[in-house]
Amino acid sequence: MNDKKLLGDSGEHYAMSMLGFNGILCSKLPDNWKHYDLIVQRDNRLERVSVKTRSESPSFGKGSWFRFESTGMYEWVIFIVKFRNSEIRSWIIPFEIAVKNSSTTREESGRSEKRTISWGKLEQPSLLKYLNNWTLLRF
């Protein structure tokens, strides 16, 4: 297993655990499920969640960013950063808010539009209310 897959799987399991600890019913989808990673139950309906995980690297800084799909095939995006000192920060953001605060980029193939959100943007006051707010998914 490569380090990137291990990091991604760890992020999904971390998100699932944190949601569970906060009383939110959650299930992980099979690996390589298209567009999203988790399903949560909210008010007797299912909502889809995409989890994006990064780890701090030597070049990590204000310009580091997350990529996510702009398909609208899910309701929530969870951005997780694991720092070298083992601190973990997570932003649980509604899809529409994530898109509003992101930039557009084209994939190398030119066929798929992606969104990017920078580390600096996540640290802005308007998005800090989503930081480690695992109860946000609860009604």
Q: How confident is the model at residue 120 (pLDDT cuts 50, 70, 90)?
A: confident
Q: Alpha-carbon distance 8 to 16, whole Å? A: 12
Q: What is the enclosing helix (H) or strand (E) of 89?
A: strand 88-94
pLDDT for the residue numbered 53? 94
Band the pLDDT of 13: cuts 50, 70, 90.
very high
Which of the four pLDDT bands, split at 50, 70 and 90, describes residue 35?
A: confident
pLDDT of residue 110: 55
- pLDDT value at residue 58: 75
pLDDT at 24: 92
Residue 128 to residues 34, 92, 111, 118, 121, Cα–Cα distance (Å): 28, 10, 33, 13, 9
Looking at residue 129, what is its pLDDT? 94
Q: What is the domain range of residue 126?
A: 3-137
What are the DSSP calls for 104-129, one per residue? EEE-TTSS-EEEEEEHHHHTSHHHHT
- Number of domains within the chain: 1
For residue 113, pLDDT over 80 is answered with no
| pLDDT given for residue 107 in this prediction | 56
Q: Is 91 within 8 Å of 102 (Cβ atoms)? A: no
Q: Is pTM beyond 0.95 here?
A: no
Mean pLDDT of the chain: 87
CATH number at residue 131: 3.40.1350.10
CA within 13 Å, CB half, 23: 5
pLDDT digits (tens, 9 = 90+) for 52-89: 999 987 777 666 688 888 877 899 999 999 999 999 99
Tokens for 109, please give them: 């193939």
Supply the pLDDT for residue 133: 94
